[in-house]
Structure 1
Amino acid sequence: PEPPEGGWGWVVMLAAMWCNGAVFGIQNSCGVLFVSMLQLFGSSEDKQLVFKTAWVSSLSMGMVFFCSPIVSIFTDLFGCRKVAVIGAAVGLVGLFSSSFVSTIEPLYFTYGILFACGCSFAYQPSLVILGHYFKKRLGLVNGIVTAGSSLFTVSLPFLLRLLIDAVGLCDTLKVLCILMFVLFLAGFTYKPLVPNAKDKEGGKKGKSKFPPAKKICNFSVFKVLSYRIWAFGIPAALFGYFVPYVHLVS
């Protein structure tokens, strides 16, 4: 079916905008959280602790994008709504669990893996669902959605600094859980207009069935030169993308 170019799509756009803002607003504020973790768990003079603390944010950032191929497959199989809602729930659990740790090591799992993987599973469907509702206006809508990350990235560090000074890091993480809870609710707005791959295959066979593996992992796109340049160029650019977010703090 042709995308409706509006209607409920505007609600979906706002939900996707919140997703971009919540996920990357928190991730891009890693410098503020990094300093607070050092103060909470030791001292910035402890070089070993600095190294161990830096791994928390690095692992979190890396996992958001590392999970992307897996999330894309799950989105194709089960649809945007299910993947986004479950992802936001996992991220919420990870972030909430992070607020109770007393040493740096558990954060590798709660914040670096659980929270980050949840963010990844919530983030990817927010991009896919836009194509269900928009075609002619997709460029404009994508621009508005990605602007959400800019708005949150600019404003959230100031809020985090105030919260950390007032209530401490652990309670600040609990406050950030509100963003993830709203993200969890936002995922329910992703009403699918296009059947997922599992439903398509089930419709053909008369029952629910997973599609063949070659349909899930289609590597033929790598035969296109322009795609290969894009696919390998973006990861290369991201090597230095997050460096300022950490080092500008010091």
Structure 2
Amino acid sequence: MPPAAVTNLGYVPPDGGWGWAVVVGAFISIGFSYAFPKSLTIYFKEIQEYFSVSYSEIAWVSSVMLASMYAGGPVSSILVNRYGSRPVVMVGGLMVSIAMVLASLGTTIIHLYLCVGVIGGFGLAFNLQPALTIIGTYFQVKRPLANGLAMTGSPVVLSTFAPLNQFLFDSFGWRGSFLVLGSIVLNCCVAGALMRPVDKRVRFKPSDGPPRCEGGAAEEAAEVDVSAQSADPAPEDGPAESKSQSYISRYIDFSLFRHNGFLIYLSGSVVMFFGFFAPVVFLAPYAKHQGTDEYSAALLLSIFALVDMFIRPITGFIGNSKWVRPRIQYFFSFAVSYNGVCHLLCPLASGYEGLVVYAVFYGLAFGMLSALLFEALMDLVGAHRFSSAVGLVTIIECGPVLLGPPISGALVDTFRDYKYMYYACGIFMLVPGIFFFIMHYYNYKKVNEELMQSALVISNNKEALQLRINQDDETMKSKYGLDTVD
């Protein structure tokens, strides 16, 4: 693939100092954003019985929350560029807290959809996007390390919340637990307070040129690209429609729909996300369905999160190696396919020991895919276009994120067995994985051909330029009777 685009930050990131406090804040914020919807599945069986709803209906709670988090990404990005990361994260934490308090007063499942799903989901979006973005403003050389540490917040928080939620439920019931969770999530406001804006008054040496974007966390490009575009105001004259289009184009690059790599990623990921979250959502209920006690079922999520926590930074180091980095799309394709194989084999696991083995292998698969998800997109479109790319992808992926768990829940309701749900999720993951392998083979081949053609054109231009120089030398010699031309 082509190298990542050169990104002119206009300053030198500190690569440390207060940046490590920002990493701590991002660790907390990202942890709550990704782990909160998954950890709430502990309450699903009891809430389902309380409201007398089906598996598919209760699955909509996490599904709406995840979909709202994805849909709120572009809105969060715009607010970050307007107000900075700190206030957006603090508002997001307050929104999730209010959502959980209101949900504890709910009398219908619709009430939970609106409070936990919509309000809480948008609050998580306001936590996730700014946390990912601000790391790229503080780090460049050490950015892979900083992002690896921040992204481990998700499995760490999940491994903590899984047993904690079971304890809260046994002590206070689901309503009291939601009140306690509403107070705990206010820690996101503390995390936001740590996200002090970076000091951009550091200069370049003229000979150094702009720093090169080396392709760590994809969100780094979002901050730089959108803010750079925002610096160019729309023209004062011209039709109102043209001004509106110019304003939209600052944030969304629709020409990406003509980019082969982006279309490959988008096509496969839309199918993939139908089976991405459902296995996590139904892991604890599946264990309870097999007769496992509540704490042992919650422990499965902790095991899953523990393995996920360790594999993410390891995947980042492997992906940055000189052997894998030039063909990282194959590594991404393997991670997607590996997830599918895990789900297809899950129904073969017998007893609690079998579920523990599945949780371990699924944690490996999920962590690998999560670590590569944004890196694969940046590798395809380049850092300078990633801001638009991630906005378009998250908006389109809202559909499968929203519908995936309810469809899986409908399969459980229909067959009264979880194995068909895991079969479906396995197919939703394995087919895109094979698709990625095939399409990226041809895409790599096409890119290599284009690079060779470009190199040939440059070589021909150099030869033509040298010939022209030689001809000019001969002209000067004959005109002035010189032996040499300086």
Instruction: Give the structure 2 partner of residue 173 of structure 1.
Output: 178
Instruction: Give the structure 1 partner of residue 282 of structure 2.
Output: 247
Choose from 42, 50, 64 the match for 1:40.
50
Would the aligned equivalents of 2:38 and 2:62 in 1 still touch at CA under 8 Å?
no
Gaps (5+ residues) in structure 2?
Answer: 1-10, 201-222, 236-243, 287-486
- CA distance in structure 2 between the aligned counterparts of 1:232 and 1:187, rounded to whole angstroms: 35
Q: Does 1:11 align with 2:21?
A: yes
Query: What are the Cα deviations for residues 99-141 of structure 1, in whole angstroms up to 9, with x where unaligned?
Result: 1112222111111100111111111100000001001111111
Shift of 1:94: 1.0
Choose from 210, 217, 221 the match for 2:252.
217
- CA distance in structure 1 between the aligned counterparts of 2:156 and 2:282, rounded to whole angstroms: 21
Shift of 1:239: 1.9
- CA distance in structure 2 between the aligned counterparts of 1:89 and 1:214, rounded to whole angstroms: 31
- CA distance in structure 2 between the aligned counterparts of 1:49 and 1:31, rounded to whole angstroms: 14
Instruction: Give the structure 2 partner of residue 118 of structure 1.
Output: 123
Higher relative contact order (CA 8 A, sep 6+): 1
Would the aligned equivalents of 1:77 and 1:198 in 2 still touch at CA under 8 Å?
no
Shift of 1:204: 11
Q: Which amino acid aligns with 1:226?
A: G
* SS across alignment from 1:190: coil
Would the aligned equivalents of 1:90 and 1:114 in 2 still touch at CA under 8 Å?
yes
Shift of 1:202: 9.3
Would the aligned equivalents of 2:64 and 2:117 in 1 still touch at CA under 8 Å?
yes
Residues 1:222 and 1:132: Cα distance change in structure 2 (over 3 Å): farther
Where does 1:50-69 land on structure 2 (aligned, <5 Å)? 50-69=55-74
Where does 1:41-120 land on structure 2 (aligned, <5 Å)? 41-42=51-52, 48-120=53-125
Q: Does 1:236 align with 2:246?
A: no
Shift of 1:64: 1.1
- CA distance in structure 1 between the aligned counterparts of 2:123 and 2:279, rounded to whole angstroms: 24
Gaps (5+ residues) in structure 1?
Answer: 43-47
Shift of 1:188: 1.9
Q: Does 1:182 align with 2:187?
A: yes
Residues 1:160 and 1:82: Cα distance change in structure 2 (over 3 Å): same
Q: TM-score, normalised by structure 2?
A: 0.46
Q: Which amino acid aligns with 2:247?
A: P
Residues 1:185 and 1:99: Cα distance change in structure 2 (over 3 Å): same
* SS across alignment from 1:129: helix
- CA distance in structure 2 between the aligned counterparts of 1:227 and 1:179, rounded to whole angstroms: 39
Residues 1:102 and 1:77: Cα distance change in structure 2 (over 3 Å): same
The share of aligned pairs that are identical, in percent, is 27
Instruction: Give the structure 2 partner of residue 139 of structure 1.
Output: 144
- CA distance in structure 2 between the aligned counterparts of 1:167 and 1:122, rounded to whole angstroms: 27
Q: Which amino acid aligns with 1:36?
A: E
- CA distance in structure 1 between the aligned counterparts of 2:266 and 2:77, rounded to whole angstroms: 15
Would the aligned equivalents of 1:32 and 1:157 in 2 still touch at CA under 8 Å?
yes
- CA distance in structure 1 between the aligned counterparts of 2:268 and 2:197, rounded to whole angstroms: 31
Query: What are the Cα deviations for residues 156-212 of structure 1, in whole angstroms up to 9, with x where unaligned?
Result: 11111111011101111112123321101211222222698499649999xxxx983
- CA distance in structure 2 between the aligned counterparts of 1:129 and 1:88, rounded to whole angstroms: 17
Q: Which amino acid aligns with 1:149?
A: S
Q: TM-score, normalised by structure 1?
A: 0.85
Residues 1:200 and 1:36: Cα distance change in structure 2 (over 3 Å): same
Aligned residues: 241
Query: What are the Cα deviations for residues 19-38 of structure 1, in whole angstroms up to 9, with x where unaligned?
Result: 12122222112321211312
Would the aligned equivalents of 1:30 and 1:245 in 2 still touch at CA under 8 Å?
no
- CA distance in structure 2 between the aligned counterparts of 1:216 and 1:171, rounded to whole angstroms: 42
Q: Which amino acid aligns with 1:139?
A: P
Greater shift, 57-66 or 191-200, is seen at: 191-200
